Amino acid sequence: MKKLIFFVLFIFMGGHIYAQFNLSGTVKDSTGKALSGANVILKQSYYAISTGSEGEFSFESVKDGSYLLYISYMGYGSYEKEILIKEDFKLDIILYPNSILADEVIVTATKATRDMPVAFTSVQKEDIEMRNLGQDVPYILNMTPSLVISSDAGAGIGYSTFRIRGTDQNRINITLNGIPMNDAESHGTWWVDLPDLVSSVDQIQVQRGVGTSSNGAGAFGATVNFQTFNLRKDAYAEINSSFGSFHTVKSNILLGTGLLNEKFSFDARFSKLYSDGYIDRAYSDLLSFSMSASYYGDKDMIKFIFLSGTEETYQAWDGVPKEVLDTNRTWNGIGMYTDAKGKVQFYENETDNYLQDHLQAFYSRDLGADIMFNLAFHYTAGRGYYEQYKQNQDFSDYGFSDIIIGADTIKSADLVRQKWLDNDFYGFTSSMNYKGAKMNLIIGGAWNQYLGDHFGKVIWSEVSLKGDKDKEWYRNNGDKKDWNVFSKLIYHPAKTMTLFADLQLRWIRYSMVGLDDDLRDISQYHEHLFFNPKFGLKFKINERSDAFLSFSVANREPNRDNYKDANPLGPLPTSERLLDYEFGYSFQSGAISLDLNAYYMDYKNQLVITGEINDVGAPIMTNIRDSYRLGMELMAGFIVSSGLRWELSTTFSQNRIDDLRIYIDDWDTWGQREEYHGVSSLSFSPAIVASSNISIHWFKNFRINILSKYVGKQYIDNTEHKDRMLAAYFLNDLVMKYSIKPKFMKEISFQILLNNVFNVEYESNAWIYRYYSGNVEENLNGYFPQAGINFLAGVSLKF
């Protein structure tokens, strides 16, 4: 089999030896100034480079044929030309300044470019639309390297998450138009709070490793940047509807004025989404809308963006006990109680409810002399709760007095409670960008403040409580201030070399005041000062290949739960540090693209769960002195023919903790037992993650994508025990899209997405709690099974 594969590749590559030519040229402005760092793309091929310090570019060994040459440079109009390659070809191209300032200036401080020593993948709007039938952001990104996804409801709608290089979402820096999206306290991001966000997104960039992030939480595994509402110069309207398995229905309307009077633009989107979910009662009822208003001048741009999302989801956070998986994979025990007649019931409003609004305001100014100024203000408001039916609750646990009725004293009762979060997050970011012939310098900073009220109230009890109907039992407040200043330098000392430096100083002040839900006083104050340097070198080996080396440092403060649950009798959690060493190599020809990224991510004081508990028995996270992730990412692309393209990626990694000690509760002694494991694997870090995307476009207006994903075994905890492990799985999805362009409208398209076409049974996430009782080890656990074969189908009307 191996000989056959090598033989096929040899024949395939050998066919490109003959009839190959060179395409070269320069890119300058109308004054003759060289434009270094311009993007030069030869479409219908894998050729894509940035111009050198003198504006030069060169593609060697281009196969004869017809191509579309596309060139872009920030602040200038793009260049497109259909060229027929039959001999060596040289072009001297002039780009002219835009008559209006482009949207891309907004994200210059957070976006990686081709001349940076960063491992990144960009997902374009065409690829987003191909799969956008209702599933959340993680499913849109599923084919990017080193990424593993999961869904609580099992079908990708509702609460869904991803990990990159084994790093969970609250260690991944996420920005929306350069504005931090991570919750300042928990560091998490919940896609369910902004349903159908991707319908407003023009591009998503995933930077693996520390990346170039400047705003928000520290990037401990990756950075994900979203850009929304880029200018569409012509008026448009879209109506999109889809339906599918589990009574899933999605509808949205997109409207835009185009560019009015060569200055103004208005866009809007309204979305409604419902799904029952694969898991019992794990429904999601989601609503969102977004609006954008922009002014484009020749030197100025002003932009306002408003996004709002409302979600109601039935809780499916506990998963399915392992012993139930074989008989009922969709079982959901949340909300279960026994009524007065001894009958098992499910509380119908065991739901999570949240409303979140985002307001962003941007101002950009071209100051001349190759200097660009950017300023952005943002405000996010969130308010919501989750509701629970709780049986036989002691009033004392809520700080309530016992109820005395006649001669009887009632100490407990069934009740319904709500846990609330009411928060505000606001601030600004600013940057100054100088782009010269050999140097690109960005200097900037940001200031943010978060104010969060956490409180709980009992809204019903089977025995009347003294006081108000909604009786509050705890309240605490979080106050977090975060500022940073940074400078980034991209310098081209020679045609074949780029130097990169990024220096950031970040300061955090965080305080909590009040009582938690267990009536503990969690008042405390913390302050951090971090220096996060990044250095890199990128060099061109020849016209087809280049390589880079980089070293980066990221520091991350503990989140709210780390502080809140810490044992006051033991050491408090400290900040974590990541030393990230990266090497990359890239080779591109007309029909082949190869990329290799090797990384060593060395963690100091990483916070992990070891089983330790605090003074009231709640689990805490503990700083582990040494741990690391060592891996290699291989990406390849092959244009087999004009209608057949194959792209694939594979990550091999080793993820280890040194000197691990695990603690297990002993219910017989009310103490803990200690296990020493020495070197062990980090949880949820598969050694192999691979994906494949075969794109077939043999017929006009009809496209098929065959998507395959392999995820190796994952350990549920850090003990590397086979009984606490998720089995490897291999999935295949099929996406088909057919479009027509009638005279009376722009486009009608039909799509169908078949997920898990071979009906594989698998679990993508889990949790486990171990304990001893009667001197025998027991455990409680929850696994998250994902749906078997299911489908989504949709129609899109574009005017």
pLDDT in tens, 243-276: 999 999 999 999 999 999 989 999 999 999 999 9
3-state percent helix, strand, coil for the chain, nearest multiple of 5: 5, 60, 30
Residue 727: count of CB within 10 angstroms of its CB: 11
At 30 the three-state DSSP class reads coil
CB atoms within 10 A of CB 173: 29
- Give the Cα-Cα-Cα angle 561, 565, 570 (nearest 5 degrees): 130
Tens-digit pLDDT profile for residues 711-732: 999 999 999 999 999 999 999 9
Looking at residue 436, the DSSP 8-state letter turns out to be -
Three-state secondary-structure class, residue 49: strand
Provide mean pLDDT across the span 766-786.
94
The C-alpha atoms of residue 134 and residue 140 are separated, in whole angstroms, by 10
* Mean pLDDT taken over the chain: 90
Query: Mean pLDDT, to the nearest integer, of 427-432?
Result: 94
What's the Cα-to-Cα distance from 223 to each of 297, 429, 613, 709, rounded to whole Å?
31, 17, 32, 22
Query: Cβ neighbours of residue 535 under 8 Å, at least 6 residues apart?
Result: 500, 501, 502, 550, 551, 552
How do residues 437-448 score in pLDDT, each as one tens digit?
788 999 999 999
Task: Write out the H or E segment, with its range, that includes residue 560.
Answer: helix 560-564
Percent of the chain with pLDDT over 90: 71
CB 381 within 8 A of CB 310: no
Residues pairing with 732 in the sheet: 708
Q: Does the structure show a pLDDT above 60 at 25?
A: yes
Q: What does each C-alpha distance from 748 to 257, 295, 644, 701, 742 come to in angstroms?
A: 20, 31, 23, 10, 8
Neighbouring C-beta atoms of residue 658, cutoff 10 Å: 12
Lowest mean pLDDT segment, chosen from 14-23, 50-59, 126-135, 677-686: 14-23
Amino acid at the residue 179: I
Q: pLDDT value at position 613?
A: 67
104, containing H or E segment:
none
1 pLDDT above the threshold of 60: no
Strand 48-50's sheet: what is its strand order?
Answer: 48-50, 39-43, 65-72, 79-85
Model-level pTM greater than 0.85? yes
Q: What does the angle CA 697 – CA 699 – CA 703 come to, to the nearest 5 degrees?
A: 40
Structure-derived torsion over alpha carbons of residues 244, 245, 247, 252, reported in degrees to the nearest 10: -30
Q: Which of 14-23, 167-176, 246-255 has the highest mean pLDDT?
A: 246-255
Query: Using H for helix, E for strand and C for coil, what is the string for 382-419?
Result: EEEEEEEEEEEEEHHHHCCCCEEECCEEECEEEEEEEE
Where does residue 467 fall: left (phi above 0), alpha (psi -120 to 50 degrees), or beta otherwise? left
Can you tell me which residue has the tokens 């084919």? Answer: 143
- Residues 685 and 627: their CA atoms lie apart, in Å, by 13
Q: What is the DSSP letter of 73?
A: -
Contacts within 8 Å (CB) and 24+ apart, 46-49? 46/588, 46/589, 46/590, 46/591, 46/592, 46/593, 46/637, 46/639, 47/588, 47/589, 47/590, 48/114, 48/588, 49/114, 49/588
Question: What average pLDDT does the segment 321-342 reach?
Answer: 93
Rounded to the nearest angstrom, the gap between the alpha carbon of residue 238 and the centroid of all alpha carbons in its chain is 26
Number of other residues whose CB lies within 10 A of the CB of residue 430 = 17
What DSSP element (H or E) covers 7?
helix 2-14
Cα of first residue to Cα of last residue in the chain, in angstroms, is 50
pLDDT of residue 466: 64
pLDDT category, 604, cuts 50, 70, 90? very high
Q: Which amino acid is at 150?
A: S
Phi-psi region of 611 (alpha: psi -120 to 50; beta: other; left: phi over 0): left
Q: Is the pLDDT of residue 77 over 90?
A: no
Residue 468 pLDDT grade (very low, low, confident, very high; cuts 50, 70, 90):
low
